[in-house]
Amino acid sequence: MTSIAEASGRVVALARGMRDLVRAEAAESERNRTLTDPIVDEMWATGLMSAFSPVAAGGVEPPLADTIEMWIEMAWQDGSFGWIGIANLPSRFAAATYLPDDGFAEVFSAHDNHVTMGGQFFPNGQGTAVDGGYRLSGSWSFGSGIGHSQYIAAGFFPMDNGEMRWISEGIPDMRVAVVPRDDIQFNDGWYVQGLKGTGSYDYSAQDVFVPHSRTFPLFTREPYRGSSPATRMGLMPVTAAGHASWALGVAKSMLDDVADLAATKYRMSDMAPLASRPTFQKGLAHHVAAWRAARLLVLDAFTTAEAAVAAGDDLTPMLRADLRAAAVYATDTARSCAEWAHLVAGTSSIREGSRLERAFRDMYTGTQHAFISEKVAIDCAQVWLGIIEDQFGL
């Protein structure tokens, strides 16, 4: 019903090939509070886990349009599986792209590139500068995808003699440490409303030594390896593409499922199926159209920025504002579609374990993320209006 043109990209096909397994394992992933081993193993066996990474790390460096369609497909299959797609794959991409050569050799080459990575990049830790690196301490929440990760990403503020390091007026230095799993303490089992299968545990580190070579600047757009434009766009645009794609994928699953349900769904006291009701037909037309428009906005914003970077242009504040605004808009639209589908499905959408029920919980968990919040939309508007020249976090 809401089918889109078949994408020709290899990574989309890899994701689509996971459908049967993900459907079969979705309930067990929720019970485990992290993806099951069969799903993770198949992601590695097919090349899906490494696909977004630079070629040097075993990836294929797909164009952003294919990557977005891949993430939409993954989230359509299951919200938790889709969230792993926008957590493990970008985490791995960032480390493989921006770690110095010694760090890349230690983390990737030494393990034949078979490295899963997740975590929290926001600088909730402090790294005391010492000879050769940092002594890292801190606590991080929502470490997406770390339930099955060999290395954990942890954002931190470098500290020199107890003082925060500044890279320009009003902007502190912020870096990401890549830490072996054995050096991390896991603090809870991720008991939440939705996205239960993502292994997004809280975690901490206490006075862990991390060499310079296993850290990189949070906002860098200067790759050590990789030739795709995404490597020169930085982690924030990649993360924005992921959030937009994830929300679109979960919403599409609900629109598709409620359309399938409508042919046989009878509401109490109705003599005809839901599909025959004009109010349902109008609502379906409106929300499918809104979903398609949001998807096209996301593709347009990200491919425009990608083309500019590929041509050697800077990723300007205006382009970055366009990307983040598109992600917020797609998320808001997806949430509206999910709410409508939940309501029209009636009691079919509240039965525990159904795709509709799980997708609804996932949607209202994933869209709480600060990365696609009202504050981001305001920052974008202020750039467009010329009130501020830039917002470094965009």
Sequence spans of domains, the chain: 4-98, 116-217, 234-385
Q: Which two tokens stand for residue 254?
A: 């609900």
Residue 183 has pLDDT above 50, yes or no: yes
- Read off the pLDDT of each residue in 58-85 and give the average, rounded to a whole number: 97
Indicate the angle between helix axes 374-385 and 317-344, nearest 10 degrees: 140
- What is the model's pLDDT at position 263? 81
Residue type, 190: W
Confidence grade of residue 1 (pLDDT, cut at 50, 70, 90): very low
- What is the model's pLDDT at position 257? 95
Residue 266 has pLDDT above 90, yes or no: no
Q: What pLDDT digit, counting tens, does each position of 105-116 carry? A: 999 999 999 999
Q: What pLDDT digit, counting tens, does each position of 338-374 carry? A: 999 999 988 888 988 889 999 999 999 999 999 999 9
The CATH label, of 1.20.140.10, 3.40.605.10, 1.20.1050.10, 3.30.450.20, for the domain at 234-385 is 1.20.140.10
- What is the model's pLDDT at position 265? 65
Confidence grade of residue 271 (pLDDT, cut at 50, 70, 90): low
Higher local confidence (pLDDT), 272 or 393? 393
- DSSP letter at 16 equals H
- What is the model's pLDDT at position 6? 40
- H-type alpha helices, 57-197: 64-77, 79-98, 101-107
Asked: is 4-98 a CATH 1.10.3720.10 domain? The reply is: no
Q: Which of 35-44, 46-55, 263-272, 369-378 has the lowest mean pLDDT?
A: 263-272
Residue 157 has pLDDT above 60, yes or no: yes
Whether the full predicted model's pTM is greater than 0.85, yes or no, is yes
What's the CA gap between 265 and 268, in Å, rounded? Answer: 10
Q: Which of 6-20, 119-133, 189-203, 208-222 has the lowest mean pLDDT?
A: 6-20
What is the DSSP annotation of 254-311? Answer: HHHHHHHHHTT---TT-SS-GGG-HHHHHHHHHHHHHHHHHHHHHHHHHHHHHHHHHT
Mean pLDDT of the chain: 94
What is the DSSP annotation of 56-75? Answer: GGT-----HHHHHHHHHHHH
Asked: is 116-217 a CATH 3.90.1150.10 domain? The reply is: no
What's the CA gap between 182 and 101, in Å, rounded? Answer: 23
Higher local confidence (pLDDT), 347 or 232? 232
Alpha carbons within 13 angstroms on the beta-carbon side of residue 174 total 17
Q: Residue 235 class from Cβ within 10 Å (0-12 exposed, 13-18 middle, 19+ buried)?
A: buried
